[in-house]
Structure 1
Amino acid sequence: MHVVLVADHAFVNGGQAKVAIDEALGLVARGQRVTLFAAVGPADPRLEAAGIRVVCLDQDDISTTRNRLAFAAQAIWNHTASRRLAAELRLCDPRDTVVHVHAFAKALSPSIGVALHRSGLPLVYTMHEFFLVCPNGGFYEYPVGRICHRTPMSLACVTTNCDARSYPRKALRLVRHVALDHVAGLRTLFPHIVTISTLQERVVTPHLPSTTVFHRVDNPIGVERAPFRDGPPGDFLFVGRISTEKGAPVFAEAARLAGVRPVFIGDGPQTDELAAGYPEAVMLGWKNPREVEAAMRQARALVFPSVWYEGQPLTVYEALACGAPVVVSDECAGREAVEDGENGFWFRSGDAQALAAHLRRLKDDDLATRMGRAAYERYWAKPLTLDAHLDRLQGVYDTVRRAAASRPNRMPLPRLATLGSTMR
């Protein structure tokens, strides 16, 4: 089997790229032929060393561009990506190829939809976030800090400023979504969608064709098993982006109410504000993965107070694997890993008082240790290893290939797709 993985980045810069690259390395180790097609480099050196074909366009994303106007045009319709992907897919044998798209919104743009459609190859898409159906990718109103329940691209959606920066950037995302839906036909292109949480499937189902087939494939967790900690539990720990949507201010306030010391690993737009307002907080900045694991193994609990949906927050599963109970907000997908009262607690999203009540309970060393051991034992009874991930994924690929072999020819592109040709 030949697997073509499509992603924005050819190196690990976050969860999406890490999963795609781990898949590439794992699949080729199992004897599959793998191509990674990406916009932004440099490519992870492990890919070439493993014999993986890498097609990297060496383009910019929003964090590296020096010309924001040019990048805005790229974000709406990346001509180069569409053309190069089409050329690459023409080399593929439809009898043994599956094209698996992980990401497009940060650099590749919706333009890849035209190349994917015209290839006629079996397709599958992993829903790491919500850009396929939501213009801002998160069903979240950043200015007011709450989950958005509006129908994407409805009048209510179009007239609401939900962007983290400004309405003009929201307008740009709206234009991109028009291109996604009516030029590239991307939203209806994938008959098979991989989801990474039950909540995610529930959120996206109303916005996708009724014929969509969903496949649950949990992301792999890279934590190696080690003995459960020896000694008393340590501090309450937050790991991630220090921002409103991740609930960092909620944790800081809850810790103060509970009379405990909050420890933050990470950085973000609210770091300085929280450090000034909560001088008792310990701000450690970003740490490498092994340092994060070491902190989790000693933690009293991981606090995951995210106030938006999330996809499948890896930090939650990593903490459980390390033997730390997790206190998680009840509106995010992280709650699916936590049995309330056994290996952690749920609390009402955004409610610092409710979170503080659980922090007070976990000040009891015996309770924290008992829940930490339950977290550890439950996780390792069925760990989310790369092998388990690949087993499930290869089953999805087989299903996708069989379905593609039996289907009629693809439906034509949306009528506005001729605009895509004109744009090229």
Structure 2
Amino acid sequence: MRVVLVLDHAHINGGQAKVALDSALGLRSRGHAVTVFAAVGPVDPRLGAAGIRVVCLGQDDIASTTNKLAFATQAIWNRKAAAALARELRHYDPADTLVHVHAFAKSLSPSIGPAIRASGLPCLYTMHEFFLVCPNGGFYDYPAKAICHRTPMSLSCLGTNCDARSYPRKLLRVVRHVGLDHVARLPDLFRHVVTISALQERVIAPLLPETTVFHRVDNPISVAKAPPRSGPPGDFLFVGRISTEKGAPIFAEAARRAGVRPVFVGDGPSAAELKAHYPESVMLGWKQAGEVQALMREARALVFPSIWYEGQPLTVYEALAVGCPVVVSDACAGREAIEDGENGFWFRSGDPAALAAHLSRLTDDVLADRLSRQAHERYWSGPLSVDAHLDRLEQVYERVAREAAGQRHRIAAGATRRPPPIGTETPPRALR
């Protein structure tokens, strides 16, 4: 099989791209022909070295563009990407090729839809976020600092400024969503949708066609197995983007109430303000993956206080893999990895007092060690390895390809059944 992976970035700039490119390399190692089609470079050098065909358009995303007006047009409908993808897909045979879309909202735009539909190739989409159904991609009201329960594209939705930056940018995303729904018709195109958490499927299922088929494929976690921690537990740790929706201020406030020191790995828009209000916070900035895992291994617990849905937060699983218990918000999908009181704790989302109570409990070294051993044991009893991810992905690909083959066969069979010449039809029984 040839798999065409479609995504915004040809390099790892976050969880979406990491999953897509790791799966590209894994599929290639299993003998599949792989093409990566992306808008934004640079290209990860591992792709070419592995024999993967890469089509990278060299375009901008919102972070790299120097012309915001031109990029707004690209974000709504990227004509260059549509034409380039159409040219690429013409080379492939529907009998042995499949298109797997991982991301389009940061650069490619919904314009990829008509190109995929015209190719006749079977396709599927991985729901890393919620852009397929929600204009701002997160079901999150940034000014209100709360999960949004409005129906996407309803009057209530259109009249609400939920964007992280401004209402004009929300309106731009609304225009893009009109194109997504009514021009590209992506929800109809992607009959097969991969989800990465049970919460995610519950949120999106009522908003997609009844014919949508959901497939659960867990993200791969790249952590080597090692013995659990042997020394005393250290600090409470936060890893990720330091922002309001990720719950960073809630962690800082809870740590102060519990009398413990919060350690932050990462950076983001709330970092400077948080440090000013909570000078006891330790800010380590971004670290390499190996360094992060070493910090997790020594930590007393990872705190994951996100106040939006998330998809399947890799950080939570990476922590469990190294024997680090997790204290997680009960509103996000990260809770699905935690058995409350066994390998971590749930706390009421957005409530620093509830989080502080768990932090205080975990100052008990005996409890922290017990949860650490349980975290390690439970994760490695069924690890989310790259091989497990690829096994499941191949099962889904086989299902999608088999369904498409059946549909082509039915169309071909219908085309061969020509109507009989006029005058030779068998008359209805009543006229014989």
Which residue of 2 is the match for residue 124 of structure 1? 124
- Report the counterpart of residue 35 of structure 2 in structure 1: 35
Matched ranges for 1:292-331 at <5 A: 292-331=292-331
Separation in structure 1 between the aligned mates of residue 408 and residue 189 of structure 2, nearest angstrom: 14
4+ runs deviating over 6 angstroms: 408-411
Q: C-alpha deviations, 1:344-378, integer Å up to 9, x for none? A: 00000000000000000000000001001100000
- Map of 1:109 onto structure 2: 109
| Distance change in 2, residues 1:78/1:356 (3 Å) | same
Contact 2:220 2:389 survives alignment (8 Å): yes
Partner Cα distance (2:330, 2:137) in 1: 20
Instruction: Tell me the residue number matched to 1:422.
Output: none
What whole-Å deviation, never above 9, does each CA across 1:302-347 have from its counterpart, x for those lacking one?
Answer: 0000000000000000000010000000000000000001000000
| Contact 1:120–1:410 (8 Å) recurs in 2 | no
Is 1:281 aligned with 2:289? Answer: no
1:28-77 CA-to-partner distances (Å, cap 9, x unmatched) read 10000000000001110000010000000000000110100000000000
Matched to 2:300, the amino acid is R
1:410: Cα distance to partner?
Answer: 12
Cross-structure match for 1:80: 80
Asked if the contact 1:321/1:375 (under 8 Å) is kept, the reply is: yes
- Aligned equivalent of 1:243: 243
Q: Which residue in the other structure is 1:415 paired with?
A: none
1: CA distance, partners of 2:249 / 2:144 = 14
Matched, 1:12 2:12: yes
Structure 1 distance, partners of 2:94, 2:408, is: 14
Q: Offset of 1:120 from its aligned partner?
A: 1.0
Q: How does 1:43-192 map to 2 (within 5 A)?
A: 43-192=43-192
- Which secondary structure state, in structure 2, belongs to the residue aligned with residue 152 of structure 1? coil
Q: Distance in 2 between matches of 1:365 and 1:55?
A: 52
- Deviation at residue 230 of structure 1 after TM alignment: 1.5
What is the alpha-carbon distance in structure 1 between the residues aligned to residue 275 and residue 137 of structure 2? 29
The SS at the match of 1:407 is: helix
Change in CA separation of 1:273 and 1:410 when aligned onto 2, cut-off 3 Å: farther
The one-letter amino acid paired with 1:200 is: Q
Structure 2 SS opposite 1:402: helix
Q: Distance in 1 between matches of 2:68 and 2:188?
A: 30
Consecutive unaligned residues in structure 2, runs of 5 or more: 412-432
List aligned pairs for 1:376-415, cutoff 5 A.
376-407=376-407
CA distance in 1 between counterparts of 2:152 and 2:353 reads: 33
Pairwise CA RMSD: 1.1
Distance 1:203 1:291 in 2: 35
Q: Which amino acid aligns with 2:267?
A: D
What are the superposed Cα offsets for residues 143-194 of structure 1, whole Å, 9 maximum, x if unpaired?
0100001010000000000000110000000000001011111122111100
Contact 2:229–2:372 (CA under 8 A) maintained in structure 1: no
Paired with 1:130 and 1:172, the residues of 2 have a C-alpha distance of 17
- SS in structure 2 opposite 1:92? coil
Deviation digits for residues 362-413 of structure 1 (CA, Å, limit 9, x no counterpart): 00000001001100000011100000000000000000001111226999xx
* Secondary structure of 2:315's aligned partner: helix
SS at 2:75 equivalent: helix
The SS at the match of 1:187 is: helix
Structure having the higher Rg: 2
2:376 partner amino acid: Y
Q: Distance in 2 between matches of 1:78 and 1:280?
A: 46
Q: How far apart, in 2, do the equivalents of 1:276 and 1:242 lie?
A: 14
Give percent identity, aligned residues only.
74
Give the TM-score normalised by structure 2: 0.94
Q: Count residues with an aligned counterpart.
A: 411
Question: Cα gap change, 1:113/1:410 in structure 2, threshold over 3 Å: closer, same or farther?
Answer: farther
Deviations 1:93-130 (A, max 9, x none): 11001100000000000000010111111111000000
Alpha-carbon offset, residue 260 of structure 1: 0.4
Q: Distance in 2 between matches of 1:223 and 1:277?
A: 35
Q: Which runs of 5+ in 1 are unaligned?
A: 412-424
Which amino acid in structure 2 is aligned with residue 394 of structure 1?
A: E
Query: Matches of 2:377 and 2:106 in 1, distance apart?
Result: 38
Residue equivalent to 1:418? none
In 2, Cα distance between equivalents of 1:35 and 1:107: 18
Q: Which amino acid aligns with 1:51?
A: G
Query: Which TM-score applies when normalising by structure 1?
Result: 0.96
The residue that corresponds to 1:333 in the other structure is: 333
8 Å contact from structure 1 (residues 330, 346) kept in 2: yes
CA distance in 1, matches of 2:18, 2:410: 31
Q: Is residue 348 of structure 2 the alignment partner of residue 348 of structure 1?
A: yes
Q: 1: distance between equivalents of 2:392 and 2:165? A: 39
Show the 5 A alignment for 1:260-279.
260-279=260-279
